[in-house]
Amino acid sequence: MQVNEYKPKIVAFCCNWCSYAGADGAGSARLAYPAEVKIIRVPCSCRVNPMFILRAFQRGADGVIIAGCHPGDCHYTSGNYFTRRRMALLFSMLDYLGIERERTRVEWISAAEGAKFSKTMSEFAATVASLGENKRLEDLRCKQ
Amino acid sequence: MQAMMEKRAKELLADGTVNRVLGWSAGEFPYDITPAVFETAKELEDAFVYNDFCAANLSKYLVKESRKEGKILVFLKPCDTYSFNQLLAEHRILRENIYVIGVPCYGKADVEKLKAMGIEGITGIVMQNGTYTVETVYGDQTVKAADAMAERCLSCKSKKHVVYDELLGDEGEVDADCNRFDMVEKLEAMTPDERFAFWRGELSRCIRCNACRNVCPACTCEQCVFDNPNSGVSQKAAVTSFEENLFHIIRAFHVAGRCTDCGECSRVCPQHIPLHLLNRKFIKDINEFYGDYQAGADPEAKPPLGTYDKADREAGEGGRH
Amino acid sequence: MQRIGVFVCHCGTNIAGTVDVVAVAKALGQEPGVVFSTEYQYMCSESGQQLMRAAIREHKLTGVVVCSCSPRMHEATFRKAAALEGVNPYMVEIANIREHVSWIHKDMAEATEKAVILGRAAIAKVHLNAPLQAGESPVTKRALVIGGGIAGIQTALDIAEAGFEVDIVEKSPTIGGKMAQLDKTFPTLDCAACILTPKMVDAAQNEKINIFAYSELESVKGYIGNFKAQIRRKARFVDETKCTGCGICTEKCPQKKVPNEFNMGLDNRRAIYIPFAQAVPKVATIDANYCTMMKTGKCGICSKVCGTGAIDYTQKDTVIEREYGAIVVATGFNPIDAKVYNEYGYMDSPDVVTSLELERLMNAAGPTNGTLLRPSDKTHPHTIVFVQCVGSRCDETDERGKPYCSKICCMYTAKHAMLIREKYPDTDVYVFYIDVRTPGKNFDEFYRRAVEQYGVHYIKGQVGKVVEQNGKLHVQASDLLANEQLHIDADLVVLATAIEPDKTARSLGTMLTASMDTNDFFTEAHPKLRPVESPTAGIFLSGVCQGPKDIPETVSQASACAAKVIGVLAKDKLTCNPCVAHSDELLCNGCSSCEKVCPYGAISYSDKEFRGPNRTTLIRRVASVNPAVCQGCGACTVACPSGAMDLKGFSNKQIMAEVDAICK
């Protein structure tokens, strides 16, 4: 029987210093996570503009995750603290608009935490998959 | 009050303190009021007006006006002074070129509410002791203020002028117990499906006229990202869909921590979308997450998104469902 | 329109084993702007680079996409190769199809599809890339070494040897660190002080080395080549320039009841003290917490007996500011607190000691002048039980212990056992171990001597409980090989407690923005290939702060670290990262939002004239970024409401193009 399994599209913004290296670590250790997760490298989680997240949703992403250094360990001292405030407000707003909160997430993953990277991405992909297709934000999309 | 204001404006023009006056100008109808710059006593006599229909927040006009030659007099209602301070904090206006006169406001009337009550031929309005006396060609009518007041004024956060060079009327007070977050709380109490339905209903009416953005005293960018083809978010034509909330989310985010809750966005929306509920959500969250903060109350205060605390909550923490 | 070349690497079978590299090259060849696409066995090899360079020449490429391993591995390699052919290095983008694809996905179709998408994202980005020019910044030719143990001393000596100035900041009154507390060292059994103190003296006498003992780092700002540090010089209440270290004050001080930290609290020192005879600097320090004069204003004996008038009760902390080109972390370790392992009776009996305490009990300068005596009754112990792995190699659920092996305990316990058997042949010595780990030059031979020549009883098994009974320590243990329970009445129990990074490491890591692992060891830039560098440029790691190691390893790493520091200091100028923020003055509102979130103070404002409508001139306040100071985090780009602030190399448009390519 052919089951057409739904595969979500997930964009992962990873900071260059911790989480991108953590993703590399997951790779080196062969710690699998779903192929739906595609990573975009940014210098710091604070480089992630809410516009990028909305843009991803607009273009068809089903989930967006931002991964950065643990609070206190930011390569740039304070970047992730700003990320935390910005995303706390943005996520709360998405919730307020009735858009599933579970489609967005912030995680702190260090360069040494390949296992955490793999686990986090697997969990997030499963959560997003369980929500199904991004219907609510689909209305946001400008199909071109 | 209008006479007092006009008198002071003429005096300040005459003694050279200012060379222009930023105020409200009457149009064809007494409720048809537009912001205007007056340069002479004659112009003031002809058109200057201040009544309970004068709702516009004049602070934003100072971004351009304060950069012109000479000093300008501006009349600011209590809530406008918060916007003024915020613009000052962001270096958007030049304080030395501005003379601020604080004028009292007891809540502006919403002409559409009056019309809905069947009141026609309006020629003027006077507020006294919680009652609007509406002058019409058919004679005066009295209306309970609460029934005809603009929505934003019903949950007025402050009647205190936070900045002025001169104050006409009495000093007002901040209303710490105002009910401005009631509707936000009501929405928060809904299920996500209900909230989604609510916002889809509201935002799908957006015609992308940009009135909200153009009136917003926090939206003073030299060029808005939505007008800049290089920003990657500019859109050409509006689409008649919920798509518009991308615009509104980004706009609300751009003014988060900067919005003084003056309510102009909702006032000017031709589609009556309660846009202030987006801004108020951010304000309420900021208060809850990072401690009470009123943009514009203190121009020296650190903006909530320009600072952090190591013990801040995590993104998504304490969220519903 | 860019002319883009795509190069897909097989990485042997690392990539090609899971990703259909031919299909990827073919698919990406169809993308707009791609004029050449190929795959090759090893793109990073000399011939792979030659292939790329030939393609750049032949196809007049303006942009390059390499689908290969992580950019953290070979981005620099490919950028260099492109630059040799006149293509700006920042026109090269890497699609990570090894760490992020082939190594984590097993299904070839799935992995190939993902590789193509990542390749498309890189192509989309390259389309919007612009050539970037790296600026230069000067280098302050002085290094800061934080920590004055053997690691810090060795690093400082080597840097000074190369002709550069070094400051050592040590928080205790003397340099020397843990090694100064050791009795003998394995596997040679030479005395620790005999080999350490000459190095301490060398450091003190080297005119290139400044020792700031009894000092702490207060703050660090800046970046590689240009750090500014504030150092708090704690008040010793003794003028360092006048004190001759004669020690009369320390003999006359009436406050005799101060636990002596150098001897692990096994005896007492005075309120004014010199930690040990060979201390450097050899200067007395008043412990204000115990000094009667400082507490009550009555005493002043030290001041009276001091021949040089060095005592100054009113001395205050001073904060000095120094500039550095590189910073070395050499903060070392401490044994964990044995209190938490109360099953071994550490809190109940003074005769349960840690290994570091035993070092002091065996040392000639220790509390017992080198005669091994029980702390409780000062008698010779005849039965001694060593417990290995106390707090080391614990599983994740054990919150008291550490998951890692502390590495040095097996060897020092063999040393202790051997020395005791040598000096007191009438003593029975038992060692309970999980495994005996002795890799290292002459290490296993050393351990075998302990077992074979000195007759130390090594028992594979764990000690369950130590209970004090009638002056004896009743040890309950299991012998796993004989599969039996053992009961030993011991006179002394020695715990090989795990070592952990110094408590100051975590806050220091934050101050330096140097990353750490969950155990608070500093993370190296690459675990194998860059073991002495922190990922943060200009921060280097020396000694145990990076992970457990013994003295020979520490010294090797310290010298390696010095070589890396010298590499920085030898340069007159450093190339800056060109991926910095940039403000579009036409869009800038001058609102200061960006300035507030910049951690480096790289943004400044000025009033500039702009052309207004109808030939008027407008003066507007606009931001500008100092590219030498900006480190390129991008915090400002999001704070900016108008989109005036953007980040070179990671621009809004570039990232959105990647988003679009991935979400297509």
Domain locations along chain B = 1-108+154-179, 109-149, 180-321
**Residue B233 to residue A55, Cβ atoms within 8 A:** yes
Give me the residue from B221, B255, B307 closest to C589, CB to CB.
B221
**Residue A92 to residue B308, Cβ atoms within 8 A:** no
- Return the closest-CA partner of residue B301 out of B239, B271, B257, B249: B257
**Residue C591 to residue B232, Cβ atoms within 8 A:** no
B230 touches chain C (CB under 8 A): yes
What 3-state class would DSSP assign to B255? coil
Give me the residue from B235, B243, B312 closest to A85, CB to CB.
B312
CA distance B37 to B72: 9
- Return the closest-CA partner of residue C417 out of C443, C388, C378, C455: C455
**Residue C114 to residue A51, Cβ atoms within 8 A:** no
| pLDDT > 60? residue A141 | no
Asked if A108 contacts A71 with a C-beta cutoff of 8 angstroms, the reply is yes
Residues near C50 by beta carbon (within 8 Å), at least 6 away in sequence: none
A143 touches chain B (CB under 8 A): no
| Closest chain C residue to B91, measured at CA | C591
Domain assignment present for residue A16? The answer is: yes
Q: Pick C4-128's CATH classification: 1.10.3470, 3.40.50, 3.40.1130, 3.40.390.
A: 3.40.50
Fold of C335-500: FAD/NAD(P)-binding domain (3.50.50)
| pLDDT > 50? residue A129 | yes
Q: Which pLDDT value is given to residue B2?
A: 87
Q: Count Cβ–Cβ pairs < 8 Å, chain A vs chain B.
A: 118
φ, ψ dihedrals at C201, nearest 5°: -65, -40
Q: Which pLDDT value is given to residue A75?
A: 85
Residue with the bigger pLDDT between B246 and A125: it is: A125
**Residue B319 to residue A84, Cβ atoms within 8 A:** no
Q: Write the secondary structure of chain A as one string of H (helix), E (strand) and C (coil).
A: CCCCCCCCCEEEEEECCCHHHHHHHHHHCCCCCCCCEEEEEECCHHHCCHHHHHHHHHCCCCEEEEEECCCCCCCCCCHHHHHHHHHHHHHHHHHHCCCCHHHEEEEECCCCCHHHHHHHHHHHHHHHHHHCCCHHHHCCCCCC
| Closest chain C residue to B302, measured at CA | C596
CA distance C661 to C605: 37
What band does B318 get if pLDDT is binned at 50, 70 and 90?
A: low
Q: How far is B166 from chain C (nearest CA, A)?
A: 27
**Residue A97 to residue B188, Cβ atoms within 8 A:** no
Helix%, strand%, coil% for chain C, nearest 5: 30, 25, 40
| pLDDT > 60? residue B244 | no
Tokens 């290994």 appear where?
Answer: C355
Average pLDDT of every residue of chain C: 95
Whether the bond between C187 and the residue before it is cis, its omega within 30 degrees of 0, is: yes
From chain C, the residues in CB contact with B90 under 8 A are 589-593
Exposed/middle/buried for residue C552 (C-beta within 10 Å: 0-12, 13-18, 19+) = middle
Exposed/middle/buried for residue B156 (C-beta within 10 Å: 0-12, 13-18, 19+) = buried
- The maximal CA–CA distance of chain C, rounded, in angstroms, is 105
Domain assignment present for residue A62? The answer is: yes
Q: Give the total number of structural domains in chain A.
A: 1
**Residue B310 to residue A81, Cβ atoms within 8 A:** yes
CATH number of the domain located at residue range(s) C142-234+317-332+502-569 in this protein:
3.50.50.60
Q: Which pLDDT value is given to residue A143?
A: 34
**pTM for the whole structure:** 0.76
Tokens 């917003």 appear where?
Answer: B216
| Closest chain A residue to B318, measured at CA | A92
DSSP C45: S
| Closest chain C residue to A8, measured at CA | C663
DSSP B162: S
CA distance C425 to C446: 18
The boundaries of the domain holding residue A131 are 10-138
Name which CATH class applies to C581-648.
Answer: alpha beta
From chain A, the residues in CB contact with C509 under 8 A are 73
Tokens 């039980």 appear where?
Answer: C385
A106 touches chain B (CB under 8 A): yes
Q: Which pLDDT value is given to residue A4?
A: 59
| Closest chain B residue to C618, measured at CA | B67
| pLDDT > 90? residue C602 | no
Question: Judged by CB atoms within 8 Å, which residues 249-268 of B form the interface with A?
Answer: 249-250, 252-253, 256
B286 touches chain A (CB under 8 A): yes
What band does C102 get if pLDDT is binned at 50, 70 and 90?
A: very high
Q: Write the secondary structure of B56-111 as one string of H (helix), E (strand) and C (coil).
A: CCCHHHHHHHCCCCCCEEEEECHHHHHHHHHHHHCCCCCHHHEEEEECCCCCCECH
Q: Which pLDDT value is given to residue C156?
A: 98
Asked if B36 contacts B24 with a C-beta cutoff of 8 angstroms, the reply is yes
Domain assignment present for residue A144? The answer is: no
**Residue C513 to residue A75, Cβ atoms within 8 A:** yes
- Give the best residue of A73, A106, A128 to mutate against chain C (max C CB count within 10 A): A73
Give me the residue from A31, A47, A56 closest to C638, CB to CB.
A47
Q: Which pLDDT value is given to residue B235?
A: 56
**Residue C653 to residue B230, Cβ atoms within 8 A:** yes
Domain assignment present for residue A61? The answer is: yes
Give me the residue from C589, C593, C605 closest to B222, CB to CB.
C589
Give me the residue from C99, C517, C662 closest to A112, CB to CB.
C517
From chain B, the residues in CB contact with A90 under 8 A are 253, 315
From chain B, the residues in CB contact with C618 under 8 A are 67
Q: Which pLDDT value is given to residue C639?
A: 95
Give DSSP secondary structure letters for C332-362. Answer: -EEEPPGGG-GGGTTTT-TTEEEHHHHHHHH
Mean pLDDT of C485-499: 97
**Residue B231 to residue C641, Cβ atoms within 8 A:** no
Q: How far is C228 from chain B (nearest CA, A)?
A: 23
Mean pLDDT of B284-300: 94
What band does C398 get if pLDDT is binned at 50, 70 and 90?
A: confident
φ, ψ dihedrals at B204, nearest 5°: -70, -15
**Residue C591 to residue B302, Cβ atoms within 8 A:** no
**ipTM confidence score:** 0.94
B126 touches chain C (CB under 8 A): no
Q: How far is B196 from chain A (nearest CA, A)?
A: 4
**Residue B90 to residue C592, Cβ atoms within 8 A:** yes
From chain A, the residues in CB contact with C501 under 8 A are none
Q: Which pLDDT value is given to residue B240?
A: 40
Q: How far is A115 from chain B (nearest CA, A)?
A: 21
B317 touches chain A (CB under 8 A): yes
For the record, the structure tokens of B99 come out as 């003379």
Domain boundaries, chain C: 4-128, 142-234+317-332+502-569, 248-305, 335-500, 581-648
| pLDDT > 60? residue C363 | yes
- Give the best residue of C125, C586, C589 to mutate against chain B (max B CB count within 10 A): C589
Give me the residue from B188, B246, B282 closest to A58, CB to CB.
B246
Q: Which pLDDT value is given to residue B319?
A: 45
CATH number of the domain at A104, please: 3.40.50
Write the pLDDT tens digit of every residue in C606-640.
999 988 888 888 889 999 998 878 889 999 999 99
**Residue C587 to residue B222, Cβ atoms within 8 A:** yes
Write the pLDDT tens digit of every residue in C162-213.
999 999 999 999 999 999 999 999 999 999 999 999 999 999 999 999 999 9
C193 touches chain A (CB under 8 A): no
- Give the best residue of A19, A24, A54, A137 to mutate against chain C (max C CB count within 10 A): A24
Please give the single-letter amino acid code of residue C259: P
Neighbour subunits, A (≥3 Cβ pairs < 8 A): B, C
What band does C460 get if pLDDT is binned at 50, 70 and 90?
A: very high
Q: Which pLDDT value is given to residue B236?
A: 52
CA distance A64 to C659: 10
Half-sphere exposure of residue A22: CA atoms within 13 angstroms, side-chain side: 32
What band does A142 get if pLDDT is binned at 50, 70 and 90?
A: very low
| Closest chain C residue to B232, measured at CA | C653
Q: Residues B211, B212, B215, CA angle at the centre, nearest 5°?
A: 80
A77 touches chain B (CB under 8 A): no
Write the pLDDT tens digit of every residue in A53-105.
988 988 889 999 999 999 888 888 889 999 999 999 999 999 999 888 899 99
Least confident of A10-14, B83-87, B201-205, C408-412: B201-205
